[in-house]
């Protein structure tokens, strides 16, 4: 039995893995806020504002990963340090990863749906 043409090979595992990691990071940050028994307006503002640097970190990591894979450890190390030090960074990085995977998938789905509804 060959798996080359099967649906398992065609399935895009990378998107699901990154979305799962993003969801876990979001839940980790939310759990840390829950354990602190405090989540106020300033914490929500910190989470929202931290999305910008996490997006930049994701762009830098992607660029470095595609051009110098050995050096990609540096942004990964930075992200790891920030994940352990700040629950707001956990939430923001989780939302950024999920958003980076879900938004293109939804737009592709909508374009495919629009093509299917178009009269021939």
What is the chain's length? 120
Domain presence at residue 18: yes
Domain presence at residue 83: yes
Domain presence at residue 103: yes
- 56 contacts: CB under 8 Å, gap ≥ 6: none
The total number of structural domains in the chain stands at 1
Domain presence at residue 23: yes
Residue 51 structural domain: 14-109
Domain presence at residue 92: yes
Domain presence at residue 36: yes
Domain presence at residue 75: yes
Question: What pLDDT score was predicted for residue 51?
Answer: 93
Domain presence at residue 29: yes
The 10s digit of each residue's pLDDT in 42-90 is: 888 998 999 999 999 999 999 998 998 888 899 889 888 988 898 899 9
The 10s digit of each residue's pLDDT in 93-118 is: 999 999 998 887 778 777 777 777 77
The position carrying tokens 């990691």 is 21
């Amino acid at each position: 039995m060959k798996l080359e043409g099967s649906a398992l090979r065609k399935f895009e595992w990378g998107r699901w893995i990154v979305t799962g990691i993003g969801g876990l990071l979001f839940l980790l940050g939310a759990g840390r806020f829950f354990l602190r028994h405090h989540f106020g307006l300033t914490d929500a503002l910190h989470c929202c504002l931290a999305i910008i640097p996490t997006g930049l970190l994701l762009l830098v990591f992607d660029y470095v990963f595609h051009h110098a894979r050995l050096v990609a450890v540096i942004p990964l190390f930075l992200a790891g340090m920030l994940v352990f030090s700040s629950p707001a960074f956990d939430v923001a990085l989780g939302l950024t990863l999920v958003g980076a995977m879900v938004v293109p998938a939804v737009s592709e789905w909508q374009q495919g749906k629009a093509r299917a509804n178009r009269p021939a």
